[in-house]
């Protein structure tokens, strides 16, 4: 039997994957196993209930949830699991993701969702936050995360160049 991946990436639609794959790419770069699933709060509510209520028992440690528009997925997930949930507002067509952002960030006190920026940057940072959580109890991962950040620092030139 293969070990349960510690990170679950869930998203409301196939159309969210082009955004959420940026979280997956970070996890891959840091050698963190993950699973990715389409779980819609609106279209597959029963799948959401099963995923969220079973997450901790299956061995997941962190959930990254991305959704757009009336983005209930991260909040509903957080309501049904004690695991840390990081919400990624997917950029919507109608309101450029401001609807997604406000839907995710404005959780009432008591059920937190760690909300990231709209779109690709948010997905990438959700991956990095998940890594930071896991690194608290994984020294090897902490070293890889340090190296990732050092490489990012080294890549910044001192003077601008014409592109
Ligand atoms: C949300 O509606 C999804 O998270 C997605 O961002 C948005 C649009 O979904 P599709 O109509 O592309 O399936 O539930």
At 141-159, the pLDDT tens digits run 999 999 999 999 999 999 9
Q: Is the pLDDT of residue 1 over 80?
A: no
At 16-61, the pLDDT tens digits run 999 999 999 999 999 999 999 999 999 999 999 999 999 999 999 9
Mean of the per-residue pLDDT values of the chain? 97
Closest atom, ligand 1, to C-alpha of 100 = 6
ipTM: 0.96
Q: Domain extents for the chain? A: 7-154
Q: Cα(40) to centroid of ligand 1, in Å? A: 8
Task: State which H helix or E strand residue 63 sits in.
Answer: strand 62-68
Q: Cα(19) to centroid of ligand 1, in Å? A: 12
Closest atom, ligand 1, to C-alpha of 43 = 14
CATH topology of domain 7-154: Rossmann fold (3.40.50)
At 49-101, the pLDDT tens digits run 999 999 999 999 999 999 999 999 999 999 999 999 999 999 999 999 999 99
| Among candidate residues 90, 40, 87, the one with its CA nearest the CA of residue 64 | 87
3-state secondary structure of 34: strand
Say what the pLDDT of residue 106 is.
97
Q: Cα(42) to centroid of ligand 1, in Å? A: 10
């Amino acid at each position: 039997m293969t070990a349960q991946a510690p990170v679950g990436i869930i998203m409301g639609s196939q159309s969210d994957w082009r955004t959420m794959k940026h979280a997956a790419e970070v996890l891959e770069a840091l050698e963190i196993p993950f699973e990715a699933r389409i779980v819609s709060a609106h279209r597959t509510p029963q799948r959401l209930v099963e995923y969220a209520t079973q997450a901790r028992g299956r061995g997941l440690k962190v959930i990254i949830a991305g959704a757009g528009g009336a983005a209930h997925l991260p909040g509903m997930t957080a309501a049904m699991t004690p695991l840390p949930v990081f919400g990624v507002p997917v950029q919507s067509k109608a309101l450029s993701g401001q609807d997604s952002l406000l839907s995710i960030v404005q959780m009432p006190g008591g059920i937190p969702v760690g909300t990231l920026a709209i779109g690709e940057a948010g997905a990438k940072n959700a991956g990095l936050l998940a890594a930071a959580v896991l690194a608290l109890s994984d020294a090897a991962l902490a070293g890889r995360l340090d190296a990732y950040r050092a490489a990012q620092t080294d890549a910044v030139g001192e003077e601008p160049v014409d592109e």
